[in-house]
Structure 1
Amino acid sequence: MSVETIRRIVLLRHAKADWGQETDHERPLAERGRKDAPVAGRRLAQTGIAFDLALCSTAARTRETWKLAVHELPERPRTVYEERIYEASLGELIALLNELPEDVNDVLLVGHNPGMHALADALAGEAEGDALARMNRSGYPTSAFAVLTFTGGWKSVEHGVARLVEFWSPHA
């Protein structure tokens, strides 16, 4: 792979979760979340990105979001359920991206706030149109996703390296 390889990082926040008697890690999706997750999947399919890899938090709400969204994609990417995404700090999320193999060009992370918002904001050194303003104004709601592009290897992922090319939310 050339260091000039254009790569894409898509950061999908899980769909709306329910508040029940479960531990936070085991919270399932709420009815609205079960409706929004496939909508997010259809919108992900419309981006035309053929993901090489999906990294999904091990929390119940992220696994359920991914299960509903992935059925809307034309091809199912290799999926890894990664426990380090749950409650990850910004630094931990960047470290996870730095570990990706160089044969991965397009990755999808299915995770949580504040991590997804913090990561998108930190990586976005520049943005197209009003994408950054919309993302920051919205607070990165459930089922929202950001698409970032950058050139280079995964070990070069750091603050300001990427361009935010799209921010989408189902209720925007």
Structure 2
Amino acid sequence: METIASQIEAVIGVWFKNGRTLYVKRSDRMENYPNVWSLLSIQFTPEELPDFTDLEEVQEVMDRMSKERLGEVPVRLIHYLKSARCSDNPMQVPVTLHLYQIELESEPELNPEYYVDCEWFTPEEYTKVSENATCGLCMRMWSDYCYQRGLSKTRFAPRVGQDDEQ
């Protein structure tokens, strides 16, 4: 289970195809952002992943996420998308996230300690289901990426601040 630390570092896996993204609903047992629709993620230590651009090392973290959270459904890392850092969050600690495009071999078998549901949403559908929910850095990063790359005509989450970009 996640623990609140003096800083948080995590990899975020985004599986998207045909205008839809796979979102997971976080368990109420999650300390950070419980009960919200989000992206697949797992925390890591700097020692575990000293170079977030080394895709072989990142794949090992993704494999751990698969084992712990996704019923060991294989995760294929496609490529790095972007990173951001933010201290303005409910945990009140610096958070650094690295976003990667991934594919899963099949729909995940969710571990209810972490995720209680998964669903493919368009940006508009995500906006509806996440209305009034706390929006974390990973969703702001994904929204910015989709908007900047033309995958979405509108942002579906608040922008990442200039001070947060890496």
Q: Do they superpose with TM above 0.5? A: no
Between Structure 1 and Structure 2, the one with more helix by share is: 1
Determine which structure has greater relative contact order: mean sequence separation of CA pairs < 8 Å that are 6+ residues apart, divided by chain length: 1
Between Structure 1 and Structure 2, the one with more strand by share is: 2
